[in-house]
Amino acid sequence: MKRLADQSVPMLEHTTHGRIVSVPKGSRSLDPVQLNQLEQAFRQWAQGPPRADVRLSRQRILLIFLLIRYTGAKLNEVLALNPFQDIDFDRQSVIFGKSDTTPRAVQIPATLAQEIQAALNDAAFQKARDGLFNVDPGHVRRKFYEVAATCGFAKGLGGPDAIRKSRAVELMQSNMPLPVVQKILGHSTPNLTAAFVSFSDDDIRQVTKFFLEKESYRKTSARNTFFGKISAIQQADFQAKVELVTVGGDPVTAMITRDSLVRLGLRPGVLISAEVKASWVVLQKGVAEPNCTAENKFQGTIARINQGQVASEYVVRIADGTELCSLVTSESSSRLDLKENESVWVMFNSFSVVLHLD
């Protein structure tokens, strides 16, 4: 089977994001680097046997692993799939519960969709069209544990449930909005914001596609990315104020030129991403909302601090789970005396926001 493009993913501190998955105290999940290591181990394992029938059996297990790893689906959901019918290769999505009244479509990376399509074209797979994933769940779990053991991972970290949880954490760490992650995992979300409810299924598909592409290619150096829908545009002589509401319900304001407004064809209801460089993000200590000229203000909690000789990096998690990064000089860092888990305000000017129409 064709190998997915390797992703350069930094080692990230683990966070449970318990609002998405139930995580017992003391339990752990695989970080993105470990997930990639496990994926490569599965690929080597699947290609290893010289016998064609054994290799085919292992490639089927590999497909099951890849679907769980990139959709966050449950094992029983994947085993219930007919991949010849339940994967839309044109839209790069997997449809779970296709016979249900409310099926769930989950976007997958384009490279993975191409890989699965190529695998299904194999003559041996074609012979098993109606029962390709008709596999004993216990057998699948045992194979998952065996491959995880070759990586030195504890048995519990290699099971389908742990991989599903690890994918949820990975998506949150890539700043995918919480409601989108919940929808991908099939969680009921009775407390969704009004902003999220206004996003159609096609809107959510575009949001997911944006984050998957960002995850795969790392196309920008900007650390802080919001994805939302334009709610209002106010035009002046030379500039225009663009207001958008994120999937998590947060407002973001950007000031751009009228030329850019026309060139991008922006209008209310258009989906757009907004980026802010970490060096443009300002922090203020305390609980009370700052009285300042910054149009964009978010209250959050410091999740991580990376101290440097010249500048320090502060990662702040806001209410919907999005992580925002700020670069602060060492002098300012010493003066602020900020610590992890401390409440702060994250602020940036509307002129610091760059809009992208993807």
The whole-angstrom separation of Cα 126 and Cα 44 is: 23
CA torsion 150-155-161-165 (nearest 10°) is -80
First to last CA, the chain: 30
| Strand arrangement of the beta sheet that strand 239-246 belongs to | 251-257, 239-246, 224-235, 271-276, 354-356
- At the topology level, CATH places domain 32-217 in hpI Integrase; Chain A (1.10.443)
The whole-angstrom separation of Cα 330 and Cα 341 is: 19
pLDDT in tens, the chain (358 residues): 544 433 333 333 333 333 333 333 444 788 877 888 899 899 989 988 788 788 888 999 999 999 999 999 999 999 999 999 999 999 899 999 887 778 889 989 888 898 999 888 888 788 777 778 889 999 999 999 999 999 999 888 999 999 999 988 888 767 777 778 888 888 765 454 455 445 677 777 777 777 777 665 444 445 688 878 899 999 988 999 999 988 667 899 999 999 999 999 999 988 888 999 999 999 999 889 999 899 999 999 998 899 888 899 999 988 767 789 999 998 888 888 889 999 999 999 999 999 988 6
Residues 6+ apart with CB under 8 A from 139: none
Hey, do 224-275 and 279-348 end up sharing a CATH topology, with the first three levels equal?
Answer: yes
DSSP three-state, residue 244: strand
Note the CATH number of domain 224-275.
Answer: 2.40.50.100
Phi-psi region of 189 (alpha: psi -120 to 50; beta: other; left: phi over 0): beta
The CATH architecture assigned to 279-348 reads Beta Barrel (2.40)
Helix axes 160-173, 137-150, angle to 10 degrees: 60
Kindly report the pTM of this predicted structure.
Answer: 0.59
Domain ranges (residues) in the chain? 32-217, 224-275, 279-348
Yes or no: say if 177 and 246 are a contact pair by the CB < 8 Å rule: yes
Yes or no: say if 281 and 296 are a contact pair by the CB < 8 Å rule: no
Yes or no: say if 245 and 197 are a contact pair by the CB < 8 Å rule: no
Q: How many residues does the chain have?
A: 358
Tokens of 15: 């966070």
The whole-angstrom separation of Cα 15 and Cα 303 is: 9
